Every structure is written in C-alpha cells, then in structure tokens.
Amino acid sequence: MTHLKRILAGLLLALVATVAAAQQEYTVRPGDTLTIEVLEDTALNRSVVVLPDGRFSFPFAGSLRAAGLTVGQIEDNITAAIQPNFAVAPNVFVTARPGASEAFAAEQSTGPTIEIYFLGEVAAPGLVEVPPGTTFLQALAQSGGPTAFAATKRIQLRRTDPGTNVQRVYSINYRALSQGAALKNDIRLRDGDVILVPERRLFE
C-alpha cells in the first residue's frame, strides 16, 4: 500500500506540474477571465474579463494589456504597476480561464445571442451571452448584481460604434433604480457592450 501511495502521490504531483506549466504557457485572449490574487492585500483579489481591445482594469494599476501575453507576463506587469503602493514588491498570482468557444456557445444556445462584457465590482465578471433585446437590468441580474464594494451610482455602459469605432459612455445610477426610481427608457443592450461597475470611493 505504501508503494501504491507513493506512485499515486507522484502522479498527482506530475499532474499539478503539468497544469501549472500549461497555465504559464497559455496565451491570453479577449473574452478570457483572469483570477488575480495579491498575497499582501486580499481586498484586491478579484476576477476580471479581458475586453475586446485586449485590456483589463485593476485597482492601482489602471488599464493593462493582457491579450497575447502569458499569465507570467501579466503577473509581472501587475506587480510593477502596483508596487509603489507596497513597502516591498507584492506577490501576485494570476490564473486564466479561457472564454467559451464558438462551438460550445452554439451547442448551448437555443437561438441568436449577443455578447456583453461585465467588469469591475459585480459578482460574476466576464463574458455573458444574452438574447437580442435584453435590457441593462436583465443583464446585470445575470452577472449576479453589484458587489458590496460597487459604486452603484456610477455604473457605466460603454458602447462602441462598429462603423466609426467611436465609443460612447452612458452613466447609470443603479442605486436610484434599486430604490424605486423609474427608468425613462430601459436600455436595450447591443453586441459588444461593456458594463463597468467601478469600485466605491472611501466615503461614497
């Protein structure tokens, strides 16, 4: 039994090493979800989605490039960006979860869908596929809603015109809506819309 346990332990270690190596070699793409952990400050731990432009946002670091990079390179870039906020260089760990493939999405879909991206302080950031005609509030519910750290008065809907590539930003006061305020025109989402829920300021 002892010999069998050693064999099983060796196989398990080899599997872990293989998975870790695959993560380090994987090249991140738009639509992937990054899980980021900062050992010295767990309040920074979060999952973020890589946007269509290949970038993501992180506290103290702003907007960083991810597409085309390995998780190791992303870890180095985050560390360099947030290091001025720490006495010593922080330990940053990143794992990547690939976005759903087109084939998988086609299998799971019962009809046409559009892609909406959630980032920031929502329960489940990342890519969400919803039917055409889905409203802002309906999509927000599918993301799990804002977290306790969300600035719910300053939610942004970012929409890029595919013809001109010009981006427009709409500000939405979700706090007022959740307290019974009427939405004059319920916003119907379009393919590629990005919903950004920023982090709440200290006294907000």
* Backbone φ and ψ of 139, nearest 5°: -70, -40
Domain with CATH 3.10.560.10 in the chain: 102-197
pLDDT in tens, 15-64: 333 444 445 578 898 888 899 999 999 889 998 888 888 888 888 888 89
Ranges of the chain with pLDDT below 50: 1, 8-22, 101-109
Q: What angle do CA 52, 50, 58 make, to 5 degrees?
A: 125
Asked whether the beta carbons of 124 and 35 are under 8 A apart, the reply is no
CATH 3.20.20.70 fits 23-97, yes or no: no
Asked whether the beta carbons of 23 and 16 are under 8 A apart, the reply is no
Cβ within 8 Å of residue 162, ≥6 positions away: 192
> Which pLDDT does position 74 carry in this prediction?
95
> Which pLDDT does position 165 carry in this prediction?
83
Asked whether the beta carbons of 176 and 137 are under 8 A apart, the reply is no
Q: How many Cβ atoms sit within 10 Å of the Cβ of residue 49?
A: 26
**6's tokens:** 């050693």
Q: Give the span between the Cα atoms of 139 and 125, in whole angstroms.
A: 12
Say which residue the tokens 């809907």 belong to: 157
Domain with CATH 3.30.1950.10 in the chain: 23-97
Domain boundaries 102-197, corresponding CATH code:
3.10.560.10
Helix (H) or strand (E) holding 79: helix 71-82
